[in-house]
Amino acid sequence: MYTFSFQNPSKPDPAGDDSGVDTSSKRKGVPETCLVCGALTRGMHFQVASCRACAAFFRRSVKAKKVYRCRRGNRNCDLTKPPNGKPICRFCRLQKCYKVGMRLENSGTDETVLVHSNTCSTESSYSGSPENTSYLRVVNGNRLERDVDKVIQEIREFFKSNIRFGAMNVPSGVHATPFQQLQYAFSKFREEMTPSTPVVPVHTYDKLAVYPFMEEYAKKSAHMMMSCDPFVHLCPEDKYKLFKHAWPLIHYLERQFSSCEIFGYDIDDLRFVITDKVAIHAVNSQVYVDGMPQEKVNELTKFCYPLKQGMFEMITVPMKQLQITQFEVCYMVGLIIFDTTEVRGLREETKIIGEQTLEQFSSELHNYYTYELKMPNYAARHAKLIRLISGSQQLSLKISEYMVMAKVFDIFITDIYESELIA
């Protein structure tokens, strides 16, 4: 269980420097190895034996909320051997800084201690803001009243447009491919939907406070889909059919990928990001529902345990073992959006556009594996991506089935999984 301590801001050590280094005389004659890059160092930065270069890089990256991409795409670069004299991979360097224990709030300055105090007050529990949850309520102990018609109508109106959403900053005369458009939109989507700063799993959280985020997630997913030309040119009704099938699957895969990006790929690490501000621990974090007796909440949690186990086995473990890249996640998102075989009642024109778009996406993936990752034999890896999509589809069906059973057994009653927002 995580514990937090609130201490008075300490005065900065005159012997320290801007990177939070301990330069006391008793350490000056004892060279150590930087835990990040392997270079020799004689000081402690952010409570960790590290060189000044890595400490300065960590401070700049965290302060500026930098988002990096792994140079090689495998998120396991050797930081002790820069390639041909080039700078080491910034993504892997920042991840290593977090892994060895660097934390900006531990530097001891007035500024960072105050940041620590402010964030801890929100990390111990999460209940959401009243304005976001005012239209959510539980009545009769286990019935969730939640009106999603407004969200559905807003998305349907948005899909009536035939103008691409969001513009890419490309030179005049340069045409972006549909997959490049989706890549750009997916990157922007993740910037809005994932925490911009390091997060610590909360001790307790109100399940109702997560629903407003889910609705915003659905709307942002619609924006992302409308950033891709082939989708824009479909008829509004087919757009919505593809959307309501796709966005829950995208949610399962993207949330797990973002959790891996933030917390790493250790299979035993059970931390998981659930909103753009909140992360939980699958075992230690306790859930409650405002207005619902805790006995009922515990009963629902126990009833839904197989769903949590299924997500771990079908999505979490395979994704962490694969050490998937954002390019591959975006490819899966594209496959989910334009997979017309899984959606009934689509026009023939829509099916043709979907098939042509998937062929283009497959060519982009081939080029990525062949020329960027230098992986000519990628059939096994591609098969694992398809299994991840299949796992998300199975999970989506299971969740709907379990919510129906929970309604039948009077454990928890909600109509959202039978609404037009979810297929």
What pLDDT digit, counting tens, does each position of 318-364 carry? 999 999 999 999 999 999 999 999 999 999 999 999 999 999 999 99
What pLDDT digit, counting tens, does each position of 292-311 carry? 888 888 998 899 899 999 99
* pLDDT over threshold 90, residue 421: no
Q: Is 1 among the domain residues?
A: no
What pLDDT digit, counting tens, does each position of 258-286 carry? 999 999 999 999 999 999 989 999 888 88
Looking up residue 260, the CATH number of its domain turns out to be 1.10.565.10
pLDDT band for 110, please (50, 70, 90 cuts).
very low
Residue 413 backbone zone (phi > 0: left; psi -120 to 50: alpha; other: beta) = beta
* Higher pLDDT among residues 242 and 420, named by residue: 242
> Do 178 and 217 share a structural domain?
yes
> Do 233 and 117 share a structural domain?
no
- Which domain does 220 fall in, by range? 126-418
pLDDT of 422 reads 82
> Do 131 and 114 share a structural domain?
no
pLDDT band for 380, please (50, 70, 90 cuts).
very high
pLDDT of 293 reads 86
> Do 169 and 115 share a structural domain?
no
pLDDT of 2 reads 37
* Residue 250 main-chain phi, psi, to 5 deg: -60, -40
- Domain boundary among the residues 65, 100, 122 is at 122
| CA R_g for the chain | 24
* pLDDT over threshold 80, residue 3: no
> pTM of the prediction?
0.70
- CA geometry: angle at 281 spanning 301 and 69, to 5°? 130
- Domain boundary among the residues 87, 103, 122 is at 122
> Do 114 and 179 share a structural domain?
no
What pLDDT digit, counting tens, does each position of 189-215 carry? 999 999 887 888 999 988 887 888 999
pLDDT of 85 reads 56
> Do 118 and 169 share a structural domain?
no
Q: Is 398 among the domain residues?
A: yes
Q: What is the mean pLDDT of residues 210-222?
A: 92
> Do 320 and 276 share a structural domain?
yes
Among the listed residues 26, 45, 23, the one whose alpha carbon sits nearest the alpha carbon of residue 34: 45
- Domain boundary among the residues 95, 122, 149 is at 122
Q: Is 7 among the domain residues?
A: no
Q: How many domains does the chain have?
A: 2
pLDDT band for 236, please (50, 70, 90 cuts).
very high
Q: What is the mean pLDDT of residues 69-74?
A: 72
Q: Is 330 among the domain residues?
A: yes
Under 8 Å between Cβ of 49 and 22: no
Q: Is 14 among the domain residues?
A: no
User: Any idea which of 110-119, 144-153, 349-358, 361-370 has the lowest mean pLDDT?
Assistant: 110-119
Q: What is the mean pLDDT of residues 111-131?
A: 41
| Separation CA 382–CA 398 (nearest Å) | 25
Q: Is 115 among the domain residues?
A: yes
